[in-house]
Amino acid sequence: MNITVIGTGYVGLVTGTCLAEVGNDVLCLDLDPGKIAMLNDGRIPIHEPGLEEMVARNTAAGRLRFTTDAAKAAAFGAVQFIAVGTPPGEDGSADLQYVLCAARNIGRHMTSHTIVVNKSTVPVGTADAVRSAICEELGRRGADISFSVVSNPEFLKEGAAVDDFMRPDRVIIGADDPHAVECMRSIYSAFIRNHDRLMLMDIRSAELTKYAANAMLATRISFMNELANLADKVDADIEQVRVGIGSDPRIGFDFLYAGCGYGGSCFPKDVRALLRMALENSTRLSVLKAVEEANEAQKRLLLRKIRDRFGSDLSGRRFAMWGLAFKANTNDMRAATSRVLISGLLGAGARITAYDPVAMPEARRLFPKDSRLAFAASAVEALRDADALVIVTEWKEFRAPNHAVLRELLKQRVVFDGRNLYKPATMRASGLEYICIGRR
């Protein structure tokens, strides 16, 4: 099948590459010439495990190509996946300008019956707006060409997106056209061969499902973070609490780890968009509002713990920071806790030496001119001359540090752990002052 994918960010590039991997001919469109030049040169603009090799393999096989030509892309695919960004507006609502621009380009250039698939995370009702935009462009051309609009939300985790696409736990299709449904079944049949995980629903329910899923996960994280803060006050251990409640099959263990707040391109944006959607429909989502407020407070928790230990004025102090990305296995620093912490520490007069396996180029872009923020070539190198270590991201290489090296290089032998990676008793037995979140 000939498939066009519009957008080459996380969702678009992963979608296009994985569709090519199972034999489809895929043309990826992006209006950013620099990004397309990079892809045509064999490089990818994001860090995603396994993706670069898959892109190279399918490009070499001729199944995956990249272009900036909107007319060529619209004419190529019988199915057109819209996978562009929906950044938050000032009021928290999802900005649909790129989605509607993609729809208008399809309407402007399509030559035969086309199935238009919304892969971007969009508010309820966006399919109607896409349909209207395409109809408007067809009307301008005086063209009578049939098309269908489908909602097919993505459920890809950054850092595991390739595996999530190739082995989905569910594929949600929102459609009202039987032909479009069968076409989508055909596309996804290669990914759900062992049992049918395709779920068919109406378009608006499919659009809402994506927001509901991310909001539920964000709620679990903020709930555990607030319990961890309570555990700090009452001398309980949040790790033991996690095991105790996670053992209940009605609850389960996923997304029950306390820490220094969630970030990234999805949870913060989608929670705000869902709150805005509720407001526009005269409905209150009180629980979700509390989730957002709790997370914003949690991002400031490490800074508060550092100030409690060293005082409000951090002039003359240097902190080693392990981790900059919002989570492991990505270079994404959008809404990352590290950004809040860096700004807070620098604002209090401190100096920082940071290390992250892949996100340091992005950090240099975000903090380009502050000489008080330095970057180290390794985790150990970041420790030199530091008063304390602050752990922000749960990279695997941070999970088993050499305690003797920590004792030797840290001037104050203090470790602030925003991800609860270590056992408190082990750290203290090693002669380290260990300050974490909700652990005894």
Query: Which pLDDT band, with edges at 50, 70 and 90, does 77 fall under?
Result: very high
The pLDDT assigned to 34 comes to: 94
Question: pLDDT digit string (tens) for 328-385?
Answer: 999 999 999 999 999 999 999 999 999 999 999 999 999 998 899 999 999 999 999 9
pLDDT greater than 80 at residue 37:
yes
C-beta separation of 340 from 299 below 8 A: yes
Q: Are 345 and 319 in contact (CB under 8 A)?
A: yes
Give me the mean pLDDT over the 428-435 stretch.
97
Q: What is the pLDDT of residue 369?
A: 82
Query: Given pLDDT bands bounded at 50, 70 and 90, which one contains residue 431?
Result: very high
* Full DSSP string of 68-116: S-HHHHHHH-SEEEE-----B-TTS-B--HHHHHHHHHHHHH--S-EEE
pLDDT in the model for residue 1: 87
**DSSP code of 394?**
-
Angle between the 238-246 and 203-234 helix axes, to the nearest 10 degrees? 140
Q: What is the pLDDT of residues 252-288, one digit of tens each?
A: 999 999 999 999 989 999 999 999 999 999 999 999 9
What is the C-alpha separation between 285 and 258, in angstroms, rounded? Answer: 23
Mean pLDDT of 411-427: 97
Residue 176: per-residue pLDDT: 95
Q: Respond yes or no: is residue 101 known to be catalytic.
A: no
Taking a C-beta distance cutoff of 8 angstroms, is the pair 121, 270 a contact? yes
Give the mean model confidence (pLDDT) for residues 172-191. 96
Catalytic residue (one of 18, 28, 266, 436): 266
- The answer to whether 403 and 410 have CB atoms below 8 angstroms apart is no
Question: What's the average model confidence in pLDDT over 388-411?
Answer: 97
Q: pTM for this structure?
A: 0.93
Q: Are 324 and 359 in contact (CB under 8 A)?
A: yes
Maximal C-alpha separation, the chain: 78
Mean pLDDT of the chain: 96
How many Å apart are CA 84 and CA 76, to the nearest integer? 18
Q: Give the pLDDT score at 39.
A: 96
Q: Which residues, in sequence order, are CB contacts of 237 under 8 Å at separation 6+?
A: 231, 438, 439, 440
Q: What is the pLDDT of residue 194?
A: 79
Reply yes or no on whether the pLDDT at 408 is more than 90.
Answer: yes
Q: How confident is the model over 221-253, as pLDDT tens digits?
A: 999 999 999 999 999 999 999 999 999 999 999
Q: What's the whole-number mean pLDDT along residues 125-135? A: 97
